[in-house]
Amino acid sequence: MSGELKPPRSRIDEIDRKLVELMAERMNAVRAIGKSKSTDTEAPLRDHSREQEVQARWQGEAETHGLSSYFTGRILREVMNYSRRVQEELLDRSQNTTHVRQLRVGFQGVSGSYSDLTLTKLFSERPQCRLERKGFASFARAVDALENGDLDYALLPIENTIAGSLNETYQLLADRQLSIVDEEILPVDHCLVGLKGAEVEQLRVIRSHPVALQQCTIWLNKLSNCATEGTTDTASSAEALLNNNDPHEAAICSEEAAGRLGLTILERNIANQAHNYTRFVLVAREPETVDARRPARMSLILMVNHRRGSLAKCLDAFARRQINLSKLESRAKPESPWEYQFYLDIEGHREDPKVKEALDEISSHANTLKELGCYPRRSVFGEDLVPEEHVAEEVASAKPEAKIVSNASLRRSGRKPAHEPSIVKIGGVPIGAGHFMLIAGPCAVETRAQITAGARMVREAGGQVLRGGAFKPRTSPYSFQGLGFPGLELLCQAGGAYELPVITEVLRLEDVNRIAQSADALQVGARNMQNFELLKKLGKIDRPVLLKRGLSATVADLLAAAEYIMAGGNQQVILCERGIRTFETATRSTLDISAIPVLKERTHLPVIVDPSHAAGRRELVLPLAAAAVAAGADGLIVECHPDPDNAMCDKEQALTREDLDELVASIKSMGRML
């Protein structure tokens, strides 16, 4: 170690020890609150106003000390999630004895597998439990041991955000007498690992669990002359490397498994999608009680009567009581060809009167209704969002909507009587039906430093989606045309660093699929609004599309363009008013504020406004944005830049960080939540 580095590193080590000590003190205070709540059954588990106060105070303190409010806020979110987990475990513990329990938990795999890591996370705040872990060669053998009394619990993966549902787990839940008593969601970071000195170009075989291989197909397909082989689990595939001692072999597993075995990480983040999560369920022989204050989930198996409308009546029983259905999946009954059973997940507690009523009503339409369990609902997303019931209140208190104008030619985009406004999500961020979205970022991706700084200013100001042009349609052939796919890669990396989904413009048919593999949403610019072949292609992908109104297009033209996309099967369309060409020259375009309420009459789709391109001047963007929000827009898309004076594109209309903060304050002052 260099002599100059030793003193500051020693200082960092000292500070880190103090941070851990302070965290321990904070958790002791959290436990004191949790113990109070465990005896006071009327006390709510979460105090949202208190959490917002703490978040605001952290942000202010961070800015006072010259720190990034985004990164300190990110730390706070994790601390709050940890605090909630601690309090939830105290609620459960209050119902049990205080002595230490020896728990035998089975899982498929070996030490270091993702199932093993999930057990560590799930039981991390249960000091009253001493865990005895037992690995098995298959899910079925773990369940056999549970049913025979050799285990207290078994942990089973049930679905993955890339690979989908695990059929074997669902079949076990259907065939065996098991109860789901808990769940855990684990972020999965697949690493390619090998022996020391191994090189990716020299690999001839890569081994892992078949599901892990399925999640990494895009990266694996780039390798030539390299075969893949399935194994019982990810960690055992890593162990096989040591036994075979062949530098031409590699495995896909967790970083923890590689570290435990002393293997070299050759590549990180090789999954098909950046967001890769696996949901696990903890099953037992008998159901367990869940405190009514905890967010809960119920899993069900349903067999309906073979009569017309039976399934619809069952689902309507949940809808009329505003019970959210988070999963619905059909599976064929092996013993009865062409008959199906349905797997459902609902968000609600078994003892909730509305849930009881719904289940009672469904029973009259079902041949079979099997409850797989009521258990705590855990999530890696949305912990700091406004609760759903608050959004519902905001929508209910909104002004009465204008009359509905129907158009028979708009079969999918048109507004129908009793048709609720649609909600579209960009990377998990919702827009529509009371959800407001702010999209911001540079006009064009210029350099890594520029787009990273842009992502930081968007996140710290409160923006939810990062925009940036990798391909730029310019009026002059001599203007900057964008960096192309290298620019898209920089945009996605910046968005990932600041947990912002990204949107970018697509210009050509042949680029649609490739851009859709990386970006969370695709934008169609004003010049391409009536590029019908491009719109048809966008109708075939599973990505939201932000469709801008053409320079001389009418509202009817815009809706007809949306219809092209939706007719192809993609219903995730966001409409954007960006100004139209008139005889007025004071602004770049004339922002048609009246288009917002007119579109609200005619379509159920979210409507967003781009004041930047309408204004063409920085000082006009904020007042136009305020007018759009007041007129009922569901969101805004604006241009900002960390150094507007040196921007390579549209510098005159790019907002500064101070402008962006003022815009967010204006949005919130009008009662719209970000």
Residues with active-site annotation: 278, 280
Contact between 488 and 470 under an 8 Å Cβ cutoff? The reply is yes
Query: DSSP assignment of 157-182, as one string?
Result: EEEETTTEE-HHHHHHHHHS--EEEE
Contact between 639 and 650 under an 8 Å Cβ cutoff? The reply is yes
C-alpha radius of gyration, the chain, whole number:
27
Instruction: Fill in the DSSP letter of residue 640.
Output: B
Mention every residue, 6+ apart, whose C-beta is less than 8 A from residue 96: 128
Contact between 45 and 37 under an 8 Å Cβ cutoff? The reply is yes
Q: Which amino acid is at 267?
A: E
Contact between 561 and 599 under an 8 Å Cβ cutoff? The reply is no
> Which of 50, 69, 48 shows the shortest CA–CA distance to 384?
48
> Which of 590, 632, 593, 636 shows the shortest CA–CA distance to 614?
590
State both tokens at 587: 């602004």
- Residue corresponding to tokens 């540079």: 442
Q: d(Cα 227, Cα 207) in Å, to the nearest integer?
A: 9
Task: Count the residues in the chain.
Answer: 674
Contact between 619 and 647 under an 8 Å Cβ cutoff? The reply is no
How would you classify the pairing of strands 191-194 and 264-267?
A: antiparallel
Q: d(Cα 375, Cα 346) in Å, to the nearest integer?
A: 11
Q: d(Cα 522, Cα 544) in Å, to the nearest integer?
A: 6
Helix-then-strand count for the chain, H and E: 22, 25
Q: d(Cα 59, Cα 10) in Å, to the nearest integer?
A: 28
Contact between 430 and 423 under an 8 Å Cβ cutoff? The reply is yes
Instruction: Fill in the DSSP letter of residue 247.
Output: T
Burial class for 172, CB neighbours closer than 10 Å (0-12, 13-18, 19+)? buried
Angle between helices 657-669 and 618-630 (to 10 degrees): 20
Query: DSSP assignment of 29-74, as one string?
Result: HHHHHHHHHHH-TTS-S--HHHHHHHHHHHHHHHHHTT--HHHHHH
Q: Which amino acid is at 34?
A: G
- Residue corresponding to tokens 């719904």: 358
- φ, ψ dihedrals at 366, nearest 5°: -115, 145
> Which of 347, 226, 647 shows the shortest CA–CA distance to 472?
647
Question: What is the SS3 string spanning 120-146?
Answer: HHHCCCCCCEEEEEEEECCHHHHHHHH
